[in-house]
Amino acid sequence: MSEGEADDAGGMRRPRAAAAVAAAALFAAVAAVLALTTPWNPLPGNVPGGRVRPDPALDFSPAELARSKAFDSAISPPAYTGLVVGLALILVLGLTPLGARLIGRVTARTGHRLLRVIVASAALAALLRVAGLPFDAWRESVLRRYGLSTQTWPSWLLDQVKSLGVAWVISTIALLLLYWVAHRFPRYWWTGAAAGGFLLVVLVSFVYPIAVEPVFNKFHSLPRGQLRSDLLDMARRDGVPVEDVLVADASRRTTSLNAYVSGFGSTRRIVLYDTLLESPPARVESIVAHELGHAKRDDVLYGTLVGALGIAGAMCLLYLLMTSPRLLRRAGVAPTGPPGRAPDDRGGGAADPRSIALVLALVAAGTQIGAPVQNLVSRRIEARADAHALNLTRDPATFVSMQHELSVRNISDLRPDALEYVLWLTHPSGPDRIAMARTWARLHHVPQPPPLR
């Protein structure tokens, strides 16, 4: 290490220590919030006869079980292979000089520093999407084979382009803010990055329903009629302010059933797939009652704030990694620029746009590491919404029939393994939810729904 680098390392010791303390405090706060507020047991109390254990054979025919297993066997290879290839590609680009060299070439004729960030972001986003396209197409072909996709290939490709555009806009805004802060405050940029990351997550969550969802679907209010009146009446009884229930034109892409709640405050909305309207009204009410559970608990706002807190901690950790001379050299970026030159002027440092591949690699790794915890918490929150639906409708039999219909129509995995729970499952499985409904019936001394077979 040269004398100049030694002086720089000494000067970075204090801000790095402060960032480490902030990261530890923020992650500890996230862990405490999740530990104390996650509904680990959405059905508390002693259950007469004990809690019902999930058993797919009670409610699903051998043909339905076989179809679910066959679909899982067909959809898993593109999912796992695409995940591995995508992670491998971004890690190779970020943790070797290849990414810095690629960005150097595509931005060679680009003068302004922030313009280089935009060009580099676009190039990497396009490269990663193109690399994943064969696996996405493979997955789409499986969905078509099993009758879950109604799209034409041109329509599917248009969706891929839209998705790339949305992802690029969001990531570019985030990267522009990050590299501006790193350039403006080279020693303490973690403070601005943490605050900016927090605010950006909240802003995206607020804007997404009104700016992004319409890019992919058209929405209209549920037409006047008995179903609309019953749903709005149920929301009023539940004490949930809902001005409207929207219907998405999902049938132009899929035959699966779904509903969701998104946004918060003035952008909060309950959305039904138009395919769901084919189900009996009582079943639609059951699934809307589940969504009211999310709205009543402000689950979207809760998830946004906890996620924003986690992002703030991640920005502090990112600072520690991006100011590591060893890691920067591994990524092909000089730790600092030569004397008299700004650190971002192609001379090295965390603010050098050539380090964007490293940033994306670290974000991808962190996202994958955090996914199991997010999925676990999500499943518990979804189970609490199921309990809310049962408490509101007091109709476990309809709940069971609705979960059976959802599982069969969506060809859900009826026997997910441990790895699938860790990597993919944000909701309890169909048999888990059916077992919960029977447990709720025992707990509340109402007739337990009999097996559907």
Instruction: Read off the pLDDT of residues 342-368 as tens digits, 9 standing for 90 and up.
Output: 444 445 688 999 999 999 999 999 999
- The catalytic position among 291, 352, 405, 413 is 291
Digit-coded pLDDT (tens) for 140-161: 999 999 999 999 999 999 999 9
Digit-coded pLDDT (tens) for 230-287: 999 999 999 988 878 899 999 999 999 998 887 776 667 889 999 999 999 999 999 9
Is 291 labeled as catalytic in the residue annotation?
yes
Q: What is the mean pLDDT of the chain?
A: 92
Q: Are 291 and 270 in contact (CB under 8 A)?
A: yes
Q: Are 311 and 366 in contact (CB under 8 A)?
A: no
Contacts of 431 (CB under 8 A, 6+ apart): 54, 55, 56, 59, 60, 407, 414, 415
Instruction: Write the burial class of residue 204 (CB in 10 Å: 0-12 exposed, 13-18 middle, 19+ buried).
Output: middle
Sole residue written with tokens 């447990």:
439
Q: Which two tokens stand for residue 272?
A: 């039904």
Reference 323, options 110, 2, 20, 1; nearest CA is 20
Q: pTM for this structure?
A: 0.92
Whether 208 shows a pLDDT value over 70: the answer reads yes
Question: Does 382 show up as a binding residue in the annotation?
Answer: yes
Question: Looking at residue 10, what is its pLDDT?
Answer: 52
Q: What is the DSSP string of 429-451?
A: -HHHHHHHHHHHHHHTTSPPPPP
Q: Which two tokens stand for residue 274?
A: 């138009």
Q: Give the whole-angstrom CA distance, residue 179 versus residue 129.
A: 23
Question: Looking at residue 210, what is its pLDDT?
Answer: 87
Q: Are 270 and 246 in contact (CB under 8 A)?
A: yes
Question: Does 388 show up as a binding residue in the annotation?
Answer: no
Is 386 labeled as catalytic in the residue annotation?
yes
Question: Does 220 show up as a binding residue in the annotation?
Answer: no
Instruction: Write the burial class of residue 439 (CB in 10 Å: 0-12 exposed, 13-18 middle, 19+ buried).
Output: buried
Q: Give the whole-angstrom CA distance, residue 226 versus residue 237.
A: 16
Q: Give the whole-angstrom CA distance, residue 300 versus residue 201.
A: 12
- The catalytic position among 285, 386, 395, 432 is 386
